[in-house]
Every structure is written in C-alpha cells, then in structure tokens.
Structure 1
Amino acid sequence: MNARQLEVFRAIMRSGTLTAAAQLLHVSQPAISKVLRHMEDQLGYRLFERAGGRLHATPEAELLFVDADRVFREIETVRDLAIRIRERRVGLVRIGASIPPIFSVMPHALTAFQGRHPEVRVVVRALSAEELSEAILVGEVDLGLTLSAIRVPMVQAEVLATTPVVVVMQESSPLAGKAVIGAPDLAGERLISYGSHADIGPLLDSAFERAGMVRQVQTEIAMAISALPLVQAGLGVALVDGMLPWASFPGVVARPFQPQALMSLSMVTSGTRPASRFVREISDDIRAAAAHWSAAARP
C-alpha cells in the first residue's frame, strides 16, 4: 500500500462515488478504478461493495479510513506549513542562553521580534557555556547568549555588552548601608562566588590580592542565579554578575564592587552554517536589546 492508494481510498470514502473522487483529485474515473483494484488486490479483501450505482464501504474500509484520514490531515498540515514557510509567514528560531540575559535582554528582544513575526516559534533554552557551545556545534540551537568566553573552533562570538560584578546580600546586612563595597569590606563574610577557574575568577582574585587578602569562596557556583536562594537563606554574601535584576528579588540588595570587574555578554553563532532570515532578524533585536539594557544600567 502506498500514499497514492491511500489518497484515492480517502477521496472515495469522502465523496461516495468514483466519479466524484476523480473530480476531487483531478484525474479520470478509470484511473481511480485502477488504483482501487490494485489496492484491494494487495490487501486481499474488498473495500467497497457496489449496489444501486453507488459504492458502499465495507467494515474493513471503515476501520482503515480512520487512520487514513488522520494521516492525510497531518500531510495537509505539513503541506500548509511548507507553503507558509515559503511565504515567510512562519518559522523557528532556537536560542540558548545563560540565565542573566534571559532575564535582562531576551524580554526586550522577543517583544520586538514577535511583534513583527507573531507566527514564528521561538524556543529559549537555559544553557551553561559548555552546553551552549556543544548545542551550537551540533545545530541544536541557532544562536546563544553567554557571559562566559567560548573558545571553540567554528563558533563565532560577538561581544554585545559588559556587566560589572556586584555584591549581593540580605537587606538586613550591615553592608547594605554602603554605596560601594570593596574587598576589605568582605573580610569575615562567607563568600558565595565563582571559582578561580571561571573567566572572571582571576580578576576577582587579583582585586583581593591588591587589598592584601585571599579570595576564599565558601560556596562556589557556576551561575549567578544559584546564589539567590543561598543569600536569601543567610548563607553568605555573593560576588556575582550584575546582569540579573537583583532589585526585583525579595529580601536581597546588590551593591557595586570596587575595583570594578567586568564580565562580557557575547552572542555566539555557528561559523559553518548560514543563519536563516529570522535568525538574522532576531540577532539584530538582541543587539538592540543589549544596547538598551547597557544604557539603562549605567549609573
């Protein structure tokens, strides 16, 4: 049994006669009869009984029609999708991003993009830098946003903005009364932060060394959002990126860290696959959103 036979069978079931089925499929009536005979021969049972000049479906045909109709409705859906894609009315964009740009950049970018293309499906996945580079390489995502450097061949990175490291603490902390916090202010505090192996780690270590201190991280995290419940629970103060909207989270405040340490927000794409029209468009929206965030974040 092939797709053409199923198409003819479905047309006969829906129209009730060979002539009407032929008109529906824009072929001759003998052609419809021939396809039906071959199909019944292959199946080994009759699909229609002929009486009074009309075809009457057998019980076997009624059973077969349920799935045949479902299959062709799905084919019609795919055909319609293909036409809409050709007409550039629908598409798919897959984005991988770390948590901070999902909070700060993606809402502005998606508002602009989906305002122009409401039918385009956008998939946003929260990924670490390691996961993101792999997803870009194998084609699971079209572009990514990360605060960590990706040094992988065939992955291109474009710096969009920088964000300073901040100190996040409970609202009740004595440090909350300071406008700026330096390394000496953190003496005696339990520190939640990135490890020395992270991109920003050596810069933070150096800041502490210049103050005659050693940056001792009691709780090491890979993503800034991981520090939120820990700080809220009173487990320490966090030295993390400032791209998350810390002021919107209950019970915590953020203060600038001095000397200033900057982390870079990069947009990463494949260096081997051409970007689709929609990926190029949303890339421009992300650039604009990053510039908007950067301007709003300036003191």
Structure 2
Amino acid sequence: MNLRQLEILRAVVQFRTTVGAAERLGMSQPSISNTIRHIETVLGFPLFERISNRLSPTEETLILLEESEPLFLLRDAVNQRAADLRMGKIGRIRVASTAELSEAVLPRVIADYAREFPRIQISLETRPLDSVLQVVENGVADVAFAISPYERQAMAYELIDTLQAVVLCDENDPVAKLDVVSPKDLVERPMVGPQVANRIGLMMADSFRAKGLDYRPTIETRFMNAAARIVRDGWGVALVDELSAYTAMRPGLVVRPYSADMSFELSAAMPKSKSPSRQTKRFIKAFRERVALRLAEVREESRRPVSE
C-alpha cells in the first residue's frame, strides 16, 4: 500500500461513505470505490462492513490506520516545512512532551521564546512517554522533554535536572504535619498516584516494596499532573514529582518531601542521527532555565511550616 491509498482509506473511515471521502479528497466516487476494492484484493481481507448504507471499518482496517499514523505525521511535517520556506519564515521548533511538562513548564517557555523570537514557529505535541520518544525518533519532532525516559538506541538524552518525589496534601491532613513522608505514612491514606503499568508507577511501587509495603493508590492516573489536580480539587494525597506539585498548588495545600531514595531524571531527547539546530539548542537552554526557577520555588514551598 502506498501513502495515497492509505489517505483514501483514512478518508472513507472518517466519513463512512465513499461519497464523503471523494468530496474531501477531490476525487470521483467510483475512483474511491475502485481503490478500496483494489486494496482489499491485494490484502486478501475486507476493509469495511456495510451497515445501514454506512461503511463500518473492520478491526483490521483500524489497526492499519493506527500503524500508518506516523506516516501522515511525517508527511504533514514535510509539507509544513515547505510552506514555512515558501513564506520566508526563518525557522521552526517542533517540541514533544509528556503532559506533566506541557502543563508545568512549557507554556511559559514557549510564550517567552515566542516574544523573543517572533519569526520562529513553535509547535507542541503532548503525548504519552512512548509516543513522545517515537515522534522524535521518526523525525516528526526536533526535541522531546520527558521524565525518566526509557533508553532507546537511536536517542540521545541531555539531562535537564533531577526531580524529587514529593507528597502534595491538604494542610490539615496528618501527612502535612510530617517533616518527611515515608511509604508507611501513605499506606492508610487515600492516595492518588501513577498507575503501576507505567514506568514512574513502577518506580514508586519499588520504593514501597523496599519497605515491605504494597503500592496501591486508591485512584490511579497515567500522568502525575492529573494526580496533583485531583488533590487540588479536594481529594486525597498525591505522590508526584516536584513540578506537578508546584503546578497544582493553591492556598491550603502543602508539599512534603518523600523519604524514599527516589528521583526522576528530567531530560531532553533528540535523535542521535541528527545534530540539533541552533534554535533547538537555544530552546533547550530556555527550558532548563525555567525548570531551575520552578524547582527553586517548589523547594522553598516544601520547607514552609504548616502554621504559616
């Protein structure tokens, strides 16, 4: 299958009719139908089921489209770069990030950078960790920012800073009276934390296991900023990174250090096969400086007595 055939297939899935797909792509309806029949012949299995005059994609079709999505992202990136050159723009920075950093740091970095370099186009993709690294590896993004990323053979990592695990809670919670919070202090509390299925959740589970305890958050989340937001809205205590805790702070909440010897490496990820551009290096520097400022603020907050 070529990219054009995949594009036709995607349009039919989107509109659920060959007529709608034809209008979207500027083709004739018979051409759309012939292409779908040809793909089915080549692949040897049906792509759609007809239900009430609508085309319902089979499970195999949905799998094909999911696997082909990086191709469309790459094509769109190439087309956008060509448009940038045609319009005389100086450059572009394509950034990918996990949700924690897209909320805690990157909005301010991007806003400041755009004010200083108004002719540089910036794009931000927020994705789960595996997908964040994949888009950089595929060349769809120039740099990714991630917390405790996996090692990947094609990726180079630049350490930005080391984040400590902290506990975010209401100032009236028993945990808030402690100078340092241990796993034992959390097992009986209504806790929000990363699910064990992801890398950071496994790290937290290991810290509990080292003390002979089970890590069983009452509410599990994929991203740590979501856990912190739940506490911000009035429920439980959250075991999260410093930046997520800072972003969720409001009057009445406090941050306490977590006693386990656990930290998260905050890194910039880039492909080994390509040297970062001057703009990318400059953006990473701006990101590093903003992280340093945020961490100084949240660490000061963690030392604040509850009685203040």
- TM-score class, shorter-chain normalisation, is 0.5 to 0.7
Deviation at 1:258? Answer: 0.8
Deviation at 1:169? Answer: 2.0
How many Å separate the matches in 2 of 1:254 and 1:194?
A: 17
1:293–1:219 CA distance, 2 compared to 1 (3 A)? same
Alignment of 1:79-90 (within 5 A): 82=86, 84-85=88-89, 90=90
1:246–1:294 CA distance, 2 compared to 1 (3 A)? closer
Q: Which moved more, 1:170-179 or 1:195-204?
A: 195-204
How many Å separate the matches in 2 of 1:247 and 1:234?
A: 11
Letter in 2 for 1:236: G
How many Å separate the matches in 2 of 1:142 and 1:110?
A: 15
1:216 correspondence with 2:220:
no
Are the counterparts in 1 of residues 190 and 218 from structure 2 also a CA contact under 8 Å? yes
Letter in 2 for 1:265: L
Deviation at 1:241? Answer: 1.1
Are the counterparts in 1 of residues 103 and 247 from structure 2 also a CA contact under 8 Å? no
Letter in 2 for 1:98: T
Aligned to 2:176: 176
How many Å separate the matches in 1 of 2:135 and 2:87?
A: 29
Aligned to 1:276: 277
How many Å separate the matches in 2 of 1:80 and 1:201?
A: 41
How many Å separate the matches in 1 of 2:84 and 2:208?
A: 61
Q: What is the CA RMSD across the aligned residues, in angstroms?
A: 2.9
Per-residue Cα deviation, 1:44-87 (whole angstroms, up to 9, x for no partner): xxxxxxxxxxxxxxxxxxxxxxxxxxxxxxxxxx99954734xx
Aligned to 2:267: 266
How many Å separate the matches in 1 of 2:109 and 2:233?
A: 33
Are the counterparts in 1 of residues 84 and 91 from structure 2 also a CA contact under 8 Å? no
Aligned to 2:204: 204
Q: Which moved more, 1:101-110 or 1:264-273?
A: 101-110
Letter in 2 for 1:100: E
How many Å separate the matches in 2 of 1:295 and 1:167?
A: 17
Q: Which moved more, 1:130-139 or 1:283-292?
A: 283-292
Are the counterparts in 2 of residues 150 and 157 from structure 1 also a CA contact under 8 Å? no
Deviation at 1:98? Answer: 1.9
- Aligned-partner SS, 1:258: coil
Letter in 1 for 2:175: L
Between Structure 1 and Structure 2, how many residues are aligned?
Answer: 218
How many Å separate the matches in 2 of 1:293 and 1:172?
A: 25
What's the % identity of the aligned pairs?
22
Q: Which moved more, 1:201-210 or 1:261-270?
A: 201-210
Alignment of 1:91-170 (within 5 A): 91-107=91-107, 109-110=109-110, 113-170=113-170
Aligned to 1:253: 254
How many Å separate the matches in 2 of 1:200 and 1:220?
A: 12
Deviation at 1:246? Answer: 4.2
Deviation at 1:260? Answer: 3.9
- Aligned-partner SS, 1:181: coil
Are the counterparts in 2 of residues 109 and 288 from structure 1 also a CA contact under 8 Å? no
Are the counterparts in 1 of residues 145 and 267 from structure 2 also a CA contact under 8 Å? yes
Letter in 1 for 2:100: P
1:185–1:91 CA distance, 2 compared to 1 (3 A)? same
Larger Rg: 1
Alignment of 1:238-249 (within 5 A): 238-244=238-244, 245-246=246-247, 248-249=249-250
Per-residue Cα deviation, 1:210-254 (whole angstroms, up to 9, x for no partner): 444222223222211211343245543211111122463465432
Per-residue Cα deviation, 1:156-214 (whole angstroms, up to 9, x for no partner): 21211011111122344232233321122223112221234543445433433444422
Q: Which runs of 5+ in 1 are unaligned?
A: 1-77
Q: Which runs of 5+ in 2 are unaligned?
A: 1-81, 301-308
TM-score, length basis structure 2: 0.60
1:116–1:144 CA distance, 2 compared to 1 (3 A)? same
How many Å separate the matches in 1 of 2:232 and 2:249?
A: 13
Letter in 2 for 1:179: D
Are the counterparts in 2 of residues 155 and 269 from structure 1 also a CA contact under 8 Å? yes
1:213–1:121 CA distance, 2 compared to 1 (3 A)? same
1:124–1:158 CA distance, 2 compared to 1 (3 A)? same
How many Å separate the matches in 2 of 1:265 and 1:92?
A: 23
1:256–1:145 CA distance, 2 compared to 1 (3 A)? same
How many Å separate the matches in 2 of 1:93 and 1:202?
A: 32
Per-residue Cα deviation, 1:74-112 (whole angstroms, up to 9, x for no partner): xxxx99954734xxxx32111111233334443554355
Deviation at 1:277? Answer: 3.0
